[in-house]
Structure 1
Amino acid sequence: MRFSVTVLAVASLAALPLAAQRPAPMQPGLLRVCADPDNLPFSNEAGEGLENRIAELMAKTWDSKLEYVWWAAPRGMMRMLNGRYCDVTLQMPVLSDMAGVTRPYYRTSYVIIQRKDAPHRVTGLDDPELKRLKIGVHLFSADGENTPPAMALSRHGVVGNLVGFSTTYTGGQARPEDIVKAVADKSIDLAMVWGPIAGYYAKRLGLDLSFTPIEDDTLTRMPFAYSMGMATRRADRAFRDSVQAFIDAHRPELQRILEEYGIPTVPLPADSARGGPGR
């Protein structure tokens, strides 16, 4: 089987009218993947992320040329997908209403990370010790909204002892692994982090930390675990069926890729992997 990779820097065209940027519709033998250029463990321009691995497997399976369309912000990526700059994104919550999503191929959650020698093991948002411990959180997501841990802790009255970490990585001043390193070097007592970021960087840096999935919060009614599928445009049902068939045929390989990248997973809801496709 053969496949090749082409990279398009769509972001550099942002000043042009949308219609002028729009490429041709889907073409046989061409797999156009929407991806973030600097978002490990998921993807980067060097091809080091788990989505890069999945895209390569998909292109090889379909004997297709692989083409990436890079865009950093999730909402902007959906504009790229729905505007037909690219045809599939390999990571999307199944309940998203922005695209047509497959059935999930894994489920992950936000996690509490602590050193294994921590004197007190925090297991949930209602632990009274949270009001005295130094807690690391990512304060704002790529879409400019506060992250679920930051919002939930605030509702639980845990505010003054939070240590904020950036989710914007520019100029080498801040990196996603900083919050994980801060737990290991005792700069903070614990952190509440998106599981894939925590698991990947702990494994990559050789850090022996404990991971506790955060359960959905009854006070805020906020979910902390998400089932993840792949997404196409809603109208492209036949293509989405092909993506779903790829997932179904390669579940063991997909699971091995997730494990290789240290992604912590939680069980999928009963029958979710066998039900109808997402929106």
Structure 2
Amino acid sequence: MICAALLSSAAGAASAQTSDLVSRTAFRVCADPANYPMSDDRGRGYENRLADMFADRLGVPVQYTWYPMATGFIRNTLRANQCDVVMGYAQGHEMVLNTNHYFTSAFVLVVSKDGPLAGVEALSDPALKDTRIGIIAGSPPATHMARNGLIGNAKGYNLVVDRRYESPAPDMLDDLAKGDIDAAILWGPIGGPLVKEGYPGFKVIPLIHEELPPRLFYRITMGVRQGEKVWQRKLNSLIRRNQGEIDAILREAGVPLLDDMGQSVLGPAN
């Protein structure tokens, strides 16, 4: 009983101390300064707009800690107590405590609207045979490409980069526009907005018909420090009460929105 009481007391103290790390005077966001269309240090990304909305609801200003979304991002921002929330993080990742998800999206195939691949809906489509497809190396769709014999002609782009110096997604879309590749596969929340803004001749096709693993859709949450349950619940409440405005921001940006099971498209893919 004494041991149990001591452990309970220690856990309570730790919990209180952890909660005290969250700023009460600013909505402190950990973000990449050059990860447009998600975030950038000019405030143009849809995650910037989401941060503005949440800060407004909390009645405090937004305060950013900028760090490239690459190796060491969480360690040097959230875990270092430099900030309190990552605006977009895949559900279930162990490096953070996830809030409830506020949207679901998927990887997309980007092709010419008027080209021979405009009717493709799955990577098993015979129309993709012998085509050259751009793919972020090591991303989940690469497994499906290999399964369907599409890797041999693929053009790979780097996965972990400092976006201040290298931009794989825009480079891939530029290559598609030049005809260097026949199609591009991108994470939808990046590819959809980029296509909407700068490539009106392209079609965005969410890859929701792949039946074998790995899955190509993900539920997106906000990430907070492990143990910050009070802060997590507060953000969950804000998500629930403001879901309509969140959806509107994402739709306006061109993010492909899916149902929770990743089986049907709810929002604009183009």
TM-score using structure 2 length? 0.81
Distance 1:240 1:151 in 2: 34
How far is 1:180 from its partner? Answer: 1.9
- Alignment-derived partner of residue 11 in structure 1: none
- Which one of 245, 249, 255 corresponds to residue 241 of structure 2? 249
- Alignment-derived partner of residue 24 in structure 2: 28
- Alignment-derived partner of residue 142 in structure 1: none
Q: SS of 1:247's equivalent?
A: helix
- Alignment-derived partner of residue 268 in structure 2: none
Distance 2:153 2:38 in 1: 30
Counterparts of residues 53-92 of structure 1 (less than 5 Å): 53-74=49-70, 76-79=72-75, 80-92=77-89
- Which one of 126, 129, 137 corresponds to residue 128 of structure 1? 126
Distance 2:167 2:25 in 1: 39
- Whether the 8 Å contact between 1:216 and 1:225 is mirrored in structure 2 is no
- Which one of 161, 165, 183 corresponds to residue 157 of structure 2? 165
How far is 1:225 from its partner? Answer: 0.3
Amino acid at match of 2:171: D
TM-score using structure 1 length? 0.78
How far is 1:45 from its partner? Answer: 0.8
Identify the range of structure 1 (71-80 vs 233-242) with the bigger mean alpha-carbon deviation. 71-80
Of all paired residues, the percent bearing the same amino acid is 29
Instruction: Render the CA deviation track for 1:135-181: whole Å, top value 9, x for unaligned.
Output: 11122xxxxxx111223312333222112234535676655312123
More helix by share: 2
- Which one of 84, 91, 94 corresponds to residue 94 of structure 1? 91
Distance 2:203 2:178 in 1: 14
- Whether the 8 Å contact between 1:169 and 1:176 is mirrored in structure 2 is no
Distance 1:235 1:63 in 2: 24
- Whether the 8 Å contact between 1:36 and 1:71 is mirrored in structure 2 is yes
Q: Structure 2: which 5+ runs fail to align?
A: 1-19, 263-270
Distance 2:167 2:82 in 1: 30
Counterparts of residues 125-274 of structure 1 (less than 5 Å): 125-139=123-137, 146-167=138-159, 168=161, 174=167, 176-215=169-208, 217-219=210-212, 221-269=213-261
Q: Structure 1: which 5+ runs fail to align?
A: 1-23, 140-145, 271-279
Q: SS of 2:169's equivalent?
A: coil
Superposed CA RMSD in Å reads 2.2
